Amino acid sequence: MNIFWKKYRNADKLTDDPILQTYKFTNVYRACDRVSQYLIRNVIYKDLLRYSPEDALLRILIFKVFNKIETWEYLNRENEITTKTYNVQKLTEALTKRQQTAPIFSNAYMMAGSHAEYKGIPSKHQVWLQMIDDRFMKNKGIQKVLTAKSMAEVYTQLREYPLIGDFLAYQYTIDFNYSPYLNFDEDSFVKAGVGAVRGIKKCFAYYGNTYEEAIHYTQEHFHELQERYGFTAFNPLPGREPKLIDLQNCFCETDKYLRARMPELKVGNVRIKQLYKPSSDKIDYFFPVKWGVSL
């Protein structure tokens, strides 16, 4: 978080830590990451009144499946994405063409859901586009998300769909909830991803009956734990202490950090692949209006 504020204030030096200098880490707050910022500002809230709630959720889903700003901008130059214009064949052809010159998927996280139902479809992007057509369009999955009574219900619904495993179901739930059409408290539900589970195992000798209990415990004792371990200068986003999704995120990054700092902690260890590359594009931070957060 200190690095975030230093970058925000254009400090010359961000950190003395060689690991944090070398490798790419996400922010404490998920919504502060560059791709999430683009999603919130440019996909969800830009031209908000132009799109129906169903359009908005479809656009969020398409953006997040590829999770790559360049892919989204390319698709929107070719075809404006709405529920009325959604066409699997046209989008597949556009992405097949794009794939010849540039990657279309982000490598930010693994997509580990089952592909068995779409075994005969030749390309990964067509599989996803077809699944969206089958489950979110024809089977009214978007309407089911919009009428869900809780964040857990949205997660459970998404988890039933092919291609979407535990991690993506939770991530997409959070992304949908950035919109003005879902208004669930981010502290009402959390699901620990694989990276967070590794981080929790490295931090706790006993973490409760579920990994999610460790995340709740950390939030409930957030300030007490800082004092206990000598970290008393945490500066949050204005009026917004870290939510469960943010702490889940931090356990994942803790696992990543410890792979380099303490490789002897053998908990599914793999090397850190992504190096930190500073960007010259400054982020003009924008958060969901309902949060009341501004920088």
Residues 220 and 157 both lie in one domain = no
CB neighbour list of residue 128: distance below 8 Å, 6 or more residues apart: 65, 163
Domain containing residue 99 = 47-177
Are 246 and 293 in contact, with CB atoms under 8 Å apart?
no
Residues 143 and 214 both lie in one domain = no
Residues 131 and 196 both lie in one domain = no
135 C-beta neighbours (distance < 10 Å), count: 21
Cα 115 to Cα 131: distance, rounded to the nearest angstrom: 10
Number of domains forming the structure of the chain: 2
Instruction: Please say if the pLDDT value at position 130 is more than 80.
Output: yes
Cα 93 to Cα 122: distance, rounded to the nearest angstrom: 12
Residues 65 and 162 both lie in one domain = yes
Examine residue 42 and state whether it is found in any structural domain, yes or no.
no
Residues 68 and 136 both lie in one domain = yes
Examine residue 204 and state whether it is found in any structural domain, yes or no.
yes
Residues 100 and 153 both lie in one domain = yes
Token digits for 143?
Answer: 């309407």
276 C-beta neighbours (distance < 10 Å), count: 13
Examine residue 195 and state whether it is found in any structural domain, yes or no.
yes
Residue 109 pLDDT: 63
Residues 148 and 200 both lie in one domain = no
Residues 152 and 104 both lie in one domain = yes
Instruction: Please say if the pLDDT value at position 273 is more than 70.
Output: yes
Instruction: Please say if the pLDDT value at position 77 is more than 90.
Output: no
Instruction: Please say if the pLDDT value at position 79 is more than 90.
Output: no
Q: Is the dihedral of CA 155, 156, 157, 160 positive or negative?
A: positive
223 C-beta neighbours (distance < 10 Å), count: 12
238 C-beta neighbours (distance < 10 Å), count: 11
DSSP, residue by residue, 58-123: HHHHHHHHHT-HHHHHHHHHH----TTT--HHHHHHHHHHHHTTS--S--SS---S--GGGTT---
pTM for the full predicted model: 0.94
* Burial label, 84 (beta-carbon count in 10 A; 0-12, 13-18, 19+): exposed
Element (H, E) at 260: helix 244-261
Residues 20 and 60 both lie in one domain = no
Examine residue 2 and state whether it is found in any structural domain, yes or no.
no
- Report which of residues 86 and 281 the model is more confident about: 86
Query: What single-letter DSSP state applies at residue 214?
Result: H
Among the three residues 111, 146, 177, which one is the final residue of a domain in this structure?
Answer: 177
Q: Which tens digits make up the pLDDT trace of 198-228?
A: 999 999 998 889 999 999 999 999 999 999 9
